[in-house]
Amino acid sequence: MVLANSCNPILFGMGFLTRDPNSFECQIEGEWKPCTKEYICENGVDRESYRPIKDDEYIDNWTSPDKFNTLCEPKWKIGLLGSMYFAGCVCTVLIVPVLADKYWGRKPTLAVNIVATILGLFGLLICTTLYEAYVFIFILGMSFPGRVFLALTYSIEFMPVNYHYSVPNIYLFSEPVFLILLTFWYQFIDHSWFLVQILMFILTLIISVYYFGYVPESPKWLYTFKNFNQSREVLKQVATFNFVDNS
């Protein structure tokens, strides 16, 4: 669930991340005075000569001069941030299932998607231009089919049949809950984009370490391709993990 929701602060939080502050102050004749977005953009005020007024609705987000400085960018450039995510999804949504089902198996395919997720999340933490952000958001979009569709299928194949319907429902339920929690976070805990994104990055790193170190290949996939001995060994590992007698 953590891996599937790792990009939600970006995808669901795009409205928060690109929202303009309500009001500004500009350095005019050596003094800080109230000004508007229109004044800043029409006069080409440089980033050191204006600052947002931090009211109750203020969020230190991607519009900041220290991040992407999107205040005076045209709307289509801002909208392209979200579009790049879905463009990435479209590029891999038909490829990832085929690789996972027929060629690479569950674990290697998901491993590639996890690495792509880590790269995208880290890139968005450190990049400072919109064009760099397009690239990293596109990479995150490419990882979506693996992080969600493949990861859910992979996890279900380790579970008893009676859990096969509940796990997808739990994931679907987790998305709106996450959006509510994200709104709560920005309102009451922290008004900055950085902390919530670095928390999700760290959680993704922890999950990836566990995955690469302890999660075996799907026993069902191994059995389907007649790797019976390997499938048996994986099932023994699962039984041991669940304190079940596998003798």
DSSP letters for 84-115: HHHHHHHHHTTHHHHIIIIIS-HHHHHHHHHH
Give the pLDDT band of residue 180 (cuts 50, 70, 90): confident
2 pLDDT above the threshold of 80: no
Q: Which residues contact 235 (CB under 8 A, 6 or more apart)?
A: 219, 246
Residues shown for the chain? 247
Structure-block tokens of residue 244: 């079940």
Q: What is the mean pLDDT of residues 115-143?
A: 94
5 pLDDT above the threshold of 80: no
Report pLDDT digits (tens) over 82-106.
999 999 999 999 999 999 999 999 9
